[in-house]
């Protein structure tokens, strides 16, 4: 396009030369001047065209870069918002955990204080347990912390022990229990006897003949046993009734009220 304009301009300059009376010195000078001007103009137009073309390419690149940067900015903004939300959620979770920890520590302190009271109460009850019953729960009793001394046992184990001891004690205290035991007598002899426990209140024992018989009751120093051979047959009757070997009837037996 520029080259076409350039040629038309030269042709116009030549026509002017002819119109002025041929190619004289003035016409020749005008032609050369016009040619030089047109050449510079053409070069300028060419440069402008090149720069315009280059600008279009650069513009397209810049527009792509702008879109990419906007997309990158949007992605970064989203990540920042997500990070803020995550940080907020983490702070909230951390606060919840801290509050829960404080609540658990407070609850643990309450449980620990209650356990210490219950464990002390059990230690005071141990002398009131019959020897045979105490032996049956010996594994639990051995795990009771020593009074006034620190323990490494977790609260869960201590609580389980207390519940186990108290539940077994409650069960024993609310039923009649029959035990076969070896018992020593005042004459230093040892006999196998059958003992009928009425909870932790009182118990009656007798050998197979009723000759060695008696009763026992709990004290703060342990169970105290009294020999009453004169009650041997009555005690045997009571044992037989419990075993359903004899029809139920009233039996006259000694009672101790502490």
pLDDT in tens, 40-68: 777 777 777 776 777 777 777 777 777 88
Q: Does pLDDT of 18 surpass 50? A: no
What is the predicted pLDDT for the residue at 239?
92
3-state secondary structure of 220: coil
Give percent of the chain with pLDDT exceeding 90. Answer: 31
* Mean pLDDT for the stretch of residues 22-40: 65
Give percent of the chain with pLDDT exceeding 70. Answer: 86
What is the predicted pLDDT for the residue at 27?
58
Q: Is this model's pTM higher than 0.75 or not?
A: no
Label residue 148 left, alpha or beta by phi (over 0 means left) and psi (-120 to 50 means alpha): left
What is the predicted pLDDT for the residue at 31?
62
* pLDDT tens track for 59-118: 777 777 778 888 888 888 888 877 777 777 777 788 788 878 888 788 778 888 888 899
Is the separation of the CB atoms in 180 and 194 below 8 Å? Answer: yes
What is the predicted pLDDT for the residue at 205?
95
Residues comprising the chain, all counted: 258
Q: Please report which confidence band the pLDDT of residue 9 belongs to, taking 50, 70 and 90 as the band edges.
A: low
The four Cα atoms 172, 176, 182, 186 give a dihedral, to 10 degrees, of: 110
Token pair for residue 41?
Answer: 């103009």
Nearby residues of 196 by Cβ (< 8 Å), 6 or more positions away? 176, 177, 178, 203, 204, 205, 235, 238, 239, 242
Is the separation of the CB atoms in 228 and 211 below 8 Å? Answer: no
What is the predicted pLDDT for the residue at 201?
92
Q: Does pLDDT of 169 surpass 70? A: yes
Is the separation of the CB atoms in 53 and 17 below 8 Å? Answer: no
């Amino acid at each position: 396009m520029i080259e076409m304009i350039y040629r038309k301009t030269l042709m116009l300059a030549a026509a002017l030369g002819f119109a002025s009376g041929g190619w004289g010195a003035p016409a020749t000078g005008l032609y050369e001047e016009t040619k030089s001007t047109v050449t510079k103009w053409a070069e300028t137009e060419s440069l402008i065209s090149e720069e315009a073309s280059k600008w279009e390419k650069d513009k397209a690149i810049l527009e792509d870069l702008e879109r990419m940067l906007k997309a990158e900015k949007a992605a970064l903004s989203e990540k920042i918002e997500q990070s803020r939300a995550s940080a907020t959620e983490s702070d909230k979770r951390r606060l919840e955990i801290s509050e829960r920890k404080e609540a658990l520590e407070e609850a643990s302190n309450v449980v620990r204080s209650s356990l210490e009271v219950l464990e002390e109460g059990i230690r005071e009850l141990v002398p009131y347990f019959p020897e045979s019953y105490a032996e049956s729960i010996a594994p639990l009793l051995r795990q009771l912390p020593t009074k006034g001394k620190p323990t490494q046992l977790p609260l869960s184990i201590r609580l389980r022990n207390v519940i186990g001891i108290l539940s077994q004690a409650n069960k024993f205290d609310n039923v009649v229990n029959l035990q076969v035991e070896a018992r020593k007598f005042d004459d230093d002899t040892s006999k196998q006897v059958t003992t009928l426990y009425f909870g932790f209140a009182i118990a009656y024992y007798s050998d197979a003949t009723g000759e060695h018989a008696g009763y026992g009751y709990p004290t703060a120093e342990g169970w105290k046993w009294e020999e009453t051979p004169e009650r041997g047959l009555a005690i045997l009757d009571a044992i037989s009734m419990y075993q359903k070997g004899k029809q139920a009837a009233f039996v006259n037996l000694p009672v101790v009220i502490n």
